[in-house]
């Protein structure tokens, strides 16, 4: 689920759009993003985007 949410985040989907498309609450989306940020030792969502975009280059 975290991977799906991060992929959608990277393609520019908002938390609201992600929650609607996956049929989960916005709080769940926020929690999954927060867990990913924590697991990777990052500071925020911007760092999360940069982390994955830089790994694609």
Q: pTM (2 decimals)?
A: 0.80
Quickly list H helices, the chain: 2-10, 15-22, 26-39, 45-56
Q: How far apart are CA 13 and CA 41, in angstroms?
A: 23
pLDDT in tens, 5-52: 999 998 999 999 999 999 999 999 999 999 999 998 998 888 888 887
Task: Report the number of distinct structural domains present in the chain.
Answer: 1
Taking every pair of Cα atoms in the chain, the longest distance, rounded to a whole number of angstroms, is: 32
Provide the domain limits for residue 14.
2-56
pLDDT in tens, 6-19: 999 989 999 999 99
| CATH number of the domain bearing residue 51 | 1.10.10.10
């Amino acid at each position: 689920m975290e991977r799906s949410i991060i992929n959608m985040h990277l393609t520019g989907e908002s938390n609201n759009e992600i929650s609607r498309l996956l049929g989960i609450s916005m709080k769940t989306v926020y929690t999954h993003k927060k867990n990913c940020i924590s697991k990777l030792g990052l500071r925020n969502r911007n760092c999360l985007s940069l982390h994955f975009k830089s790994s694609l280059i």
